[in-house]
Amino acid sequence: MVLAGPPEDQGGVDALSLVAGGTDIFRRSRGVLGLVGLPIALAAAVAVLFLWVGNKQLDSIEQRRVNPEFITNALAEHMALAFTSTILVILIAVPLGIILTRPGARAVMPPVITLANMGQAVPSIGVLVLLALVWDIGFWPAIVALVAYAILPVLRNTMVGLQQVDASVIEAGRGMGMTKGAVLREIELPLAVPVILAGVRTALVINVGTATLATFVNAGGLGDIINGGLVANKQTVIVVGSVLTAAVAMFIDHLGGIAESRLSPKGL
């Protein structure tokens, strides 16, 4: 899937950052309102949801899933899945991106990119079922599927971020006697940070969304609520699960946006 990125994006940045950039409208409207506007709106939506649910007579099937304990637990599982997988994605994709952009790695670059593309092209539900068949069900198989699915944006953004660093800046650094490692640490990586962070944010949002599928391999998460509602054909349960998932995804993306602007170096 190759879409054109939004114009303000760096050339070649994964199209999915288009999704991740969705809540920037709130953040870019300056000041405190920009920072807290979206969280307030989300909190209001969730409050409305619970008021609505609270005023309803829930039957026992509904009560099993729509209760504070179950929801808190599902939310915790969901976060654990999303954050663990994203951290693993960073730990794998950023070093890999660094290695692949070093001179001498030109030969191995195409196959690695193809592999990362495949990870994203194969539907994650397929990967999950496959892993369940050949390996196991539960938390770690779910994590593997999430990592495979979200590695591409971080890998690609790391590479793009490093490649777009002005060659003359590196030449000047080397010419002053900075070692290759120092140039990487003090020049290339800081200058690539905005692009890498955009990829990480994309991966995180993908993982928050995809983690709803973890329920199919018994790994919990908010998918438990949605799927339970679907199986029992309970509208209320489905609505609660879906709205919560959407609110969490948007909130995480919002936090990602804040982190992106805070962590990007000054002067760019």
Residues 6+ apart with CB under 8 A from 177: none
Residue 267 interacts with other proteins (CB under 8 A)?
A: yes
Residue 107 interacts with other proteins (CB under 8 A)?
A: no
Residue 174 interacts with other proteins (CB under 8 A)?
A: yes
Tokens of 88: 């693993």
Tokens of 143: 């994590």
Residue 182 C-beta: closest distance to other proteins, Å = 8
Residue 103 interacts with other proteins (CB under 8 A)?
A: no
The dihedral built from the CA positions of residue 250, 252, 253 and 259, taken in this order, carries a sign that is positive
CA 238 to the chain's CA centroid: 23
Residues 6+ apart with CB under 8 A from 135: 141
Map residues 180-219 to x or -, x wherever contact with other proteins holds by CB under 8 A. --x---xx--xx----------------------------
Tokens of 12: 């070649």
Judged by CB under 8 A, the residue of 130, 169, 230, 263 near other proteins is 169
Residue 171 interacts with other proteins (CB under 8 A)?
A: yes
Residue 189 C-beta: closest distance to other proteins, Å = 10
Q: How many residues bind other proteins (CB under 8 A)?
A: 22
Residue with tokens 């509208």, as numbered in its chain: 235
DSSP 138: S
Name the site residues for other proteins (rule: CB under 8 A): 166, 168-179, 182, 186-187, 190-191, 265-268
